[in-house]
Structure 1
Amino acid sequence: MPTVSPAQRSLTLVTGAMLAAIPVITLVVWVTLAADGVGEFPPTWAPLVVLVAAALAYAFCELAGFRAPALEYSARPAAEIEAESWRRFTQSTFTRFAVCEGVFMLSIALAFVVDSFWVVLVGAVLALPLVAWEVWPGPRDQQRFAASLEARGTPSYLTGRLQD
């Protein structure tokens, strides 16, 4: 079984907490906004705005969210290169999270404009899988980001240490 680096363990823990915030905030907004249950479905434009925002967030994350300047070759120790790679990956993860979470935050604002909790539900249903797919620091995201860091041939050690 591959060992998990402390940086990966820490980032996974933080990402899990950020992901768990979406259902918690949804519940808090429900207590605030939905006095009579969920209410009537809002005008069509409001959920469509949230859907378009989710599509744009997905496109941004897929097209630009995993790009990073390639590592420069140097005689630095592997541990230092790995630490730099994890710093860059963490920064990219938080940027992707902010973009994906923006979909949910937009849905909350729109819910108060149209006075319907349905918009928050639509936002949560779109944001949860979007955050899970684009932000969770699993092998897919690590490999995509490592490929960007390793474009000039310098190993990033992001997906594990090479055998010495």
Structure 2
Amino acid sequence: MPLNSPRPPAAASLTMVTASMIAAVPMITVVMYFVLAPDDGLGEFPTTVALILLAAAVAAYSVCELAGFRTAPMQHGGTPAQVEAASWQRFTASTFVRFAICEAVFLVSIPLAFIVKSYWLVLVGAVLGLALLVWEVWPGARNQRRFAAALEARGVPSYLTGRPQDYTRPRDLG
């Protein structure tokens, strides 16, 4: 979407909600430090369990890349405003599903950290989870274009990345 085009309220709202949900990961990571680290410091680095987290991150990434941006194409009919609203509703639902998949990597690291008694696992889970969340969930141009391509598979414009009038410039009258 061009910089000078108006941003739909759905885009602004989704960005704000996504930022709030992503911000929870660093906050929980800091809280977990006070729960896990004060007695033994960070603990030993459990390589085997960290590899399990890495495998979970690869699995989450694969699911998001292969299935997270799939949706049924838009049907013909409706005004551009209705089509745009429906597109944003479907994109928002898809974003929340991808969020749950990506955040699971971080959430799994917490009980594993208690079992192994190592704060390192929370750190590894937070780094992997944040990287996945930013790449797969953030409602930026990449993710909008990928989802719009699925919506527009039948040739019906989704208006997810903007409407034609957002891209045209008024002609000079001089």
SS for the counterpart of 2:164 is: coil
The equivalent position to 1:40 in structure 2, one of 44, 49, 57, is 44
Return structure 1 stretches of 4+ with deviation > 6 angstroms.
Answer: none
Q: Identical aligned pairs, as a percentage?
A: 59
Give a deviation string over 1:91-138, Cα, whole Å, max 9, x none: 000000000000000111110111110000000111111100000000
**C-alpha displacement of 1:2:** 2.1
Q: One-letter code of the match for 1:150?
A: E
Q: Which has the larger radius of gyration?
A: 2
Which of 161, 167, 172 does residue 159 from structure 1 map onto?
Answer: 161
1:131 counterpart residue number: 133
Following the alignment from structure 2 to structure 1, what is the Cα–Cα distance between the partners of residues 157 and 95?
20
> Which of 100, 103, 122 is the aligned partner of 1:101?
103
What 5-or-longer segments of structure 2 have no aligned partner?
A: 169-174
SS in 2 for 1:82: helix
Distance 2:126 2:53 in 1: 10
TM-score, with structure 1 as normaliser:
0.96
Q: Distance in 1 between matches of 2:42 and 2:21?
A: 25
Residue type of the partner of 1:142?
A: Q
Residue 3 in structure 1 maps to residue 14 in structure 2:
no
- Equivalent residue number for residue 15 of structure 1: 18
Residues paired across the two proteins, number: 162
Q: Which amino acid aligns with 1:69?
A: A
Is 1:57–2:60 an aligned residue pair?
yes
Q: Taking structure 2 as the reference length, what is the TM-score of the superposition?
A: 0.90
> Structure 1: which 5+ residue stretches go unaligned?
none
> Which whole-Å CA distance do the structure 2 matches of 1:4 and 1:45 have between them?
46
In structure 2, how many angstroms separate the alpha carbons of the residues matched to 1:10 and 1:162?
A: 22
Q: Structure 2 CA distance, aligned partners of 1:145 and 1:40?
A: 42
* CA displacement at 1:19 relative to structure 2: 0.9
